Amino acid sequence: MNQRIKQLLGQAHDQAVPETWTTLSSEQLEKVYDKFAELIVRECARVIADDDLAKESDTFLMDSWAKGMRYSAHVLYEHFGVKP
């Protein structure tokens, strides 16, 4: 697991069930994993939508690129059922 994924997993635990992790029930663990998956989808969509290359150019081609990147982020949200 890379560092960012570890951070997101910790954030998921903190947001879903702030109680001590060692006492989690199966229902609480399910909440954690659902939150973790949601955070990964959000992170992926954010990275796609915030593409620096598209932001730094004002050509027609790059404007189209930026729109495509934002649309791709939207498709990720829709596919995984995560609200932006």
**Confidence at residue 57, expressed as pLDDT on a 0 to 100 scale:** 60
pLDDT of 74 above 80? yes
Which domain does 55 fall in, by range?
3-80
Could you give the 3-state DSSP secondary structure of residue 56?
Answer: coil
- pLDDT tens-digit profile of 14-71? 888 777 666 778 888 788 888 888 899 999 998 888 876 656 666 667 778 788 888 9
- Which amino acid belongs to residue 2? N
Q: Which two tokens stand for residue 27?
A: 């229902």
Q: How many domains does the chain have?
A: 1
Give the angle subtended at the CA of 41 by the CAs of 20 and 58, to the nearest 5°: 135
